[in-house]
Structure 1
Amino acid sequence: MKTRAGKILLVLAGIILAFILAEILVRVFLPQNKMVTWIEMHPRGFMMNQSDIEALHEFDDRTLRYQFNEWGLRGNKKIQQDDINILLLGDSFTFGLLLNQQATYASLLQDRLHANFPSADFQILNGGIGGTGLADWPGWLNQKGESISPDIIILYLNYMDVDRALSKNLYVVEDSKLQNSIRWKPRKIFMSLGRMGWYRWLQEHSELTNILVKLAWRDLYFSDQTDNFSQQNSQVLIPPADAFDPKSGYSLQLAKLLTEQLQIWCEQNGCRFILTTTGFFDENSTGAHTFSYYKSLVNETPENIYFFDNTPCVHEQTQGDFDNIRIPGDSHPNERGAQIIADCSWNWLQPFMEKEVISHEN
């Protein structure tokens, strides 16, 4: 028994020593920005932030510690049901990736509301989740929305939202109706692993672990139920092959039905739905499916949807040069970019909220 125990100890010591040596080699020859994962996928395939956690994120000279409350919203805000709660939804732009919380346009708009309506209890909740598209939000709202109970939902449409909706295959259009489907199915073992303290500690302190986690996210965490949208081998409902051509009109119909689904959720749960844009839209950098939907909104907004487009304002502020308002080496807005989005949003949000104040006073 002693000999067996000794062999096990030697093996463990060898593994630890090899890990330490590999860690040293990575730090010398292939240094990594460390990141503790905070995003996970619901079994239904939509993205979520983990709840009640803190996550480190390094990128060059930036070091952030993101906080998440019990609903997976950014920050540590407690939701007060007596307040007028305004839930912002969107991808990593809305989340404020690589920005301190105070520099996100969610927080900047909160500051504007407090300054301009000091007697009103407005609270902005940041529900941004990196990697989301338009199709993530119906499932997310069905899971989280009722407990958050927002009075107003503002969805910030970004330049790949419809392309992601098509790629994720969470919904398929059949006979002009949405049918539930899925593409990426998370493996339970990795979902559980992502919440374990020792695993998160390794992510925060080990650059080798960060490489291994990236590889695992790419190759192991999810299984593709569509077999890359194979019409012969897919295990789930998928759209016809020509749906991936923007000219087919399929993705435009998908986007309209998904937006309608969000509007219906708000009507059924006593809130108002507003659709706006990040303002980072142009024909060259916007996904083809997303740009088609964006142009349809600009040209003919549905009567039952509040739509405010920040794109003309953002272009005016930047002369169409987004590079000056992006984080160097990354595609996300820097502090000035977030400020411009907040300023442009305030142009329409202020008069909208003035009406809201009047209606609540009456």
Structure 2
Amino acid sequence: MAQTEPAEDPGELPYRRHGIPALGFENYWYPLLLAREVGRRPKAARLLGRDIVLFRDAGKLFALEDRCPHRGVKLSLGACEYRNSGTISCPYHGWVFDGASGRLVAALMDGPDSPITRKVGVRSYPVREHAGMIWLWPGEMAPTALEDDVPEWVGDQNRFFSIPMYTDYRCNWRALVDNWGQDHHAQYVHRSSPELLFQPVLPFALTLEPTVLPGNKGIAFKRSGGMTSAEFPGLGRFPNNEWWRVMKPTGRGNVRGFQESKAHRVYGIRNQSEVWLPGLVVVGRLSGEYALIQWAVPIDAGTTRCFNINNFRRLGRWREMLDRVHYWLWRGWAHDRIFSDQDKVLVEALVPGPERLSRSDVGVIYWRKFAGANARRPDRPAEAARDVA
């Protein structure tokens, strides 16, 4: 009897045609954990479907494949038994691995002259600590400079400080990045969030003009036109009788004049919204004193770690203290929890299947084409952005 091929997951169809992998683009730096989560005690982590162990020793940070090649036990269950040697020991038979190279330096139960040490090792990963986070390069290519993949003001201790946090979503990373592609969902979903509750509804039915950023880092979205209310035949007006919206549009509600803003002149943010490879959104504010990065980190095919990296301009010791208090009492709750959780509920509830995209999905379509055509990989040297029209 002939064997039939398994049916393709319908959720893969919108991405397969553009070459966007379920486990993410390999050859980029990703934030993985908060720096305070990793000490000398080994810490298990997962990125792009790979099991990884992180640990510190001899004043350095290391990342290795989290599997001993002897009998398959996780190295994260072991310990840094030999202090200041930069090694980690498997808890089963005492195989000891060098954190920098992954080379097996001793098989304790075999004795000091074991020949297996010349034949065995585990994969080591480039890893860095930056802006209060642990960053890891999972790709096969030689790593680029971390600063190539991260906005220049992240970790600039003289001008800015960052407050990062993350939440794990039960969805594929691509659904979360699509959600950031200016698909107009914010005008409907987030109008009830605390930070927008009293402001006018964000303009909808906008004209969206995506443009490629220098160096093919990603795309920027220029928005124009639109409306904040409209009459729908047979239904009535949207929004419907929301009399409490009395505040002036600020933050997300003000989409005009960005190129003349303090954010552009002083903070160095070029656009109010940019989506970068491998899957992050950079959101500026007109004040120039704050910017948000949300980063979709593929843990595996069904789990995404959403990093919220809040970045504040240093305006003196007392202002920094005020900004930190404001974050913990307001913004961390209002945005990083409630606002983001409104997205979390929806992307976790997506049902894979055919899509019928509309004119509000211009940004999503453009992002998918751009990402598949321009993601970094060994056979794709740096060059001008490929046609994504």
Q: TM-score range by the shorter chain?
A: under 0.3
Between structures 1 and 2, the one with greater strand share: 2
- Structure 2-normalised TM-score? 0.21
Point out the structure with max Rg over C-alpha: 2
